[in-house]
Structure formats: structure tokens, C-alpha cells
Amino acid sequence: MSGGTPGAGETLPGAGGGDDDAPDRVVCHVDMDCFYASCERLRRPELAGEPVVVGMGYEPGESIGAVATASYEARAFGVESAMPISKALELLPRRADADPDDPDAPDPGETGRYVPVDLDFYEDVAGEVKAVLRDCADTRREVSIDEAYLDVTDRTAWTAAGDGDDPSPSTAAGPASARTLAEGYARHVKQRIEREAGVPASVGVAPNMSAAKVASDADKPDGLVVVPPGTVAEFLAPLPTADVHGVGPVTEDTLAELGIETAGDLAAADRDRLAAELGERGPELSRRAAGDDDREVTPTGLPKSLSRESALPTTADEATKRETVSALAADVARRARERGCLYRTIGIKAVEPPFDVNTRARSLPGPVDDPDLVEEVALDLLGEFDEARVRKLGVRVSKLDFAETDQATLGGFEPGEGNGSEREGAADRPPGPEGRRTATDGDGGKLTDWVDGEPTAEGDAPGGDAERRTGDGQASLGDWS
């Protein structure tokens, strides 16, 4: 790593905690911008400013696969994460198909660059980012390959920079009026990431985790938003409830039914009524909306499961359900492989309207790393819901094994046989057609992503429906290894 860096006991650009015995916490949320697309631009500078689509399960020249992430230029054409490549191509044809001499060919100015996912390369770049974060903060929570929380209270402070009587104006977005040492330190972190890893990041700075998370999403891409103590509630108040950390689509709908549309509404809502509707999470979300969040930044532990969900327009169409589950299964298996873990149980979730959450799972003879098996079992479990109308589907692998161990021998294992099934009454069904297809959700193409234990994944619906909004719209976010 390059560049002069502060030692563990120093602050940069300089600060102490002042005379307060309990100084306000300084939390940074670092969120990489369109990370996969940024990595591709790092090694292919000619992609700068171009619409870039990174495909999961995509091969050059093909139309199979799903959009893992789309650059902001590609999003301007309507391309969204989790969208099938075939749909993305309708909105944004390939540059390779453009021919200025062919009147029937697409206009080169309305085409994009399509590239396949290269996880090995992205993980190398993420390692460079991770090294910067480790150097800049002793207390970190690394949520995913492109997202982390830093508690830098021991490195900087909310003290105004420059003349105390006439402080320098803030140059960051957000409610900060005066430039603080915390702003300077966050800018230092942001600049080091770009200089040493070569990719842009958006950073939110606030006195608590939930406000910092919202702040990092508020001025993308390449943004820096500072929310000093005393301004959090004012900053959050006009935002929609969906922006409050921990509010997923189910909770958003429930709040709307209660006439609660903004964070300010949520902060002012009767907390007893919220508890009656949402359980203990209701008052907690109200406190967050009011700027009150006393959670500490703690290191991420090993998850108990890995899973993905996709919201859908309510449908009973079998093909739509199967292609959705196939795409989710492929991504869950890939994420497990990224983390180097095996799994002993494969399951699905099917949510029938309005909020009837059904789960089915099947145990395997031993821990495996087998993407094809994840898809096969998930599709077989889906068979119970052939006739059902669903509004959301999910795939989960659980009973994770992170130890170095041999995989179980699965000779003779066939879905539908006994083998420790935990299907809760699922009827045996034959596996579906061969070949993996892709899926989009009905909400702009964002797949929700929930990993047990992460602060960004809060139980959201009856039955533990945990939902996470990915502010940067990246469909495939691996976790730090």
C-alpha cells in the first residue's frame, strides 16, 4: 500500500476527542459506487463514461444471464440490477452490434458495453479497499465486498476545523455548515481508496450507524455527505420511510397504511401503535428516524446462513417462479463459494399475498459446495407452490461449515428422496427443465439480500422476513472473506 498514513494512535487531519468524557461517536459508512463496473473501468480505462453492464452468468455475445450491476450511464437507459440480460439488451443494445453504415443497426450513442462477472479480479480490488479501511479504522464492520462501517471516534472528532470563531465552510453535501475534523478524515479515507485501490467510493459521516448509511446513499456517485450531531433528525425528516435504515418493502407498506410516509412522520408516530403493528422493531425504527441509534460498530461474525430474495408482481406463472428461483439459487451458491463455506441445508421461501410466509428446507447427508444441487433442490421444493400466487421468492443455504473439510459424498442423492428432508410437508416433484435462467423482480430490478447477523438486515415481516435495500443497486454482493 502506498502513501503516508497515520499511526494507530494518531488522527488525520488532526483532532482529539476534546474535553468531553463521552465525545459524540464518528461513524463512516463506506459504499463503493457500482463496484463491479468500477473494477472493469479500472483495468479498461476506455470504459470511463460508457454505459457498462456487468452480467452474472453472462458470456460475451450471449443473451443469457442477469445484470449484476449497471453503471449510472447504463441506468439512464433503464437497465437495473437483477434484470435479465435479454431485457437489458432491449433497452441498451451491445456496442458490438452497432454499425453506423447499417440503418437497421442500433445507434452507437445508445449502446453499452457488456462484460461478464470476474469475481477473482473484483476480490483483488476489494482486498486493496479493505487494506485501506484496516489502516484507517481500528473498529470496522465489513458488511460485504463493497460496503463497510468504520468507527473513527479515536482518530478524529466533530470539532470545527480552522478558526473556532470563524470556521471554514463545509465542502461536503448534507446539513454540515462548518468543516469539521471528521469531514477531513472521511475525505482522507475516500481519497486513499481512490488513490490506492483505483475505484470510487461514497462516504456518509454521522454520529450513528443508521444515519451514516443513509448519508452514503444521499449523494451518489463519488459523494461525501456529513451529518453532524444535532442535525440527524432534521436531515432524515423529509426522506421517505424506505430510506430509514431497517425499513424494507413490507414495513414500508405497513407504515403507509398507517399514514406514515416520511422519516419525520415515523419519528413522531405513536410508538405504542407502532409496537402493536410491527412488534418491538416499530419503536426502534421510530427512534432511528428521530436520529437515535446507539448501536456500536462491531466486527461481522460468521453468518448462520446465506440467502437471497426477489420481490415479484404477484404471479402464479410457473415459468416466472422457476426462473426467479434458478437465478437466486445460482447467486446464493456463488456467494457461499466466495466465502469459502460449505452448507448442509438448502431451502426456499415463498411469500403469498398479503404476507403469508412459507419456508421449505431439505437437509443433505453432509456439507457440500454444489451450485447445481442448490438449484435442483430449490426448484424441487418450489414444486409445492406450482399453483400458488406469490409476491416474493427466496433461496437459502444454511448450517454453514467454514472449516476446511472434505465434502460429503452425495452419490445416489436425489431430490425427493428422504435424506433428512425438512420440507414441512412439501410434495415430491420432479426437477424442472435443465438450464439456468435469470429473473427480475417487480420493483426496479433490486434483489433483496439478507445475511444473518448483519446490521443492515433487520427482521421485517411476520415470520422473520428480513429485507435489505441495496442503495447502489448491485444485485450480487459477496461478503468479505
Q: What is the pLDDT of residues 132-190, one digit of tens each?
A: 998 999 899 988 888 999 999 999 999 988 766 678 899 999 898 999 999 999 999 99
Residue position matching grid coordinates 443513509? 214
Which pairs from 73-79 meet CB under 8 Å and 24+ separation? 73/49, 73/112, 74/37, 74/112, 75/473, 76/51, 77/51, 77/110, 77/112, 79/51, 79/53, 79/112
**Where in the chain are all domains bearing CATH 3.30.1490.100?**
305-467
What per-residue confidence (pLDDT) applies to 23? 61
- The C-alpha atoms of residue 71 and residue 76 are separated, in whole angstroms, by 9
Delimiting residues of CATH 3.40.1170.60 domain(s) in the chain? 51-111
pLDDT of residue 379: 96
Give one word for 204, left, alpha or beta, with left for phi > 0 and alpha for psi -120 to 50.
beta
C-alpha cell at 275: 409496537
Q: Which residues participate in catalysis according to the annotation? A: 147
385 touches 336 (CB < 8 A):
no
DSSP-derived 3-state class of residue 205: strand
The pLDDT value given to residue 433: 29
Considering the domain delimited by 305-467, tell me its CATH architecture. Answer: 2-Layer Sandwich (3.30)
Q: Is 306 helix (H, G, I), strand (E, B) or coil?
A: strand
CATH level 3 topology of 51-111: MutS, DNA mismatch repair protein, domain I (3.40.1170)
- CATH 1.10.150.20 maps onto the chain at 246-289
What parts of the chain have a pLDDT lower than 70? 1-23, 100-101, 103, 163-165, 301, 355, 403-481
> Coil, helix or strand for 393?
strand
Q: What is the pLDDT of residue 442?
A: 26
CATH class of the domain whose range is 246-289:
mainly alpha
Task: Report pLDDT for 76.
Answer: 95
Per-residue model confidence (pLDDT) at position 450: 30
For residue 365, whether the previous peptide bond is cis, meaning omega lies within 30 degrees of 0, is no
Backbone angles phi, psi at 330, to 5 degrees: -60, -40
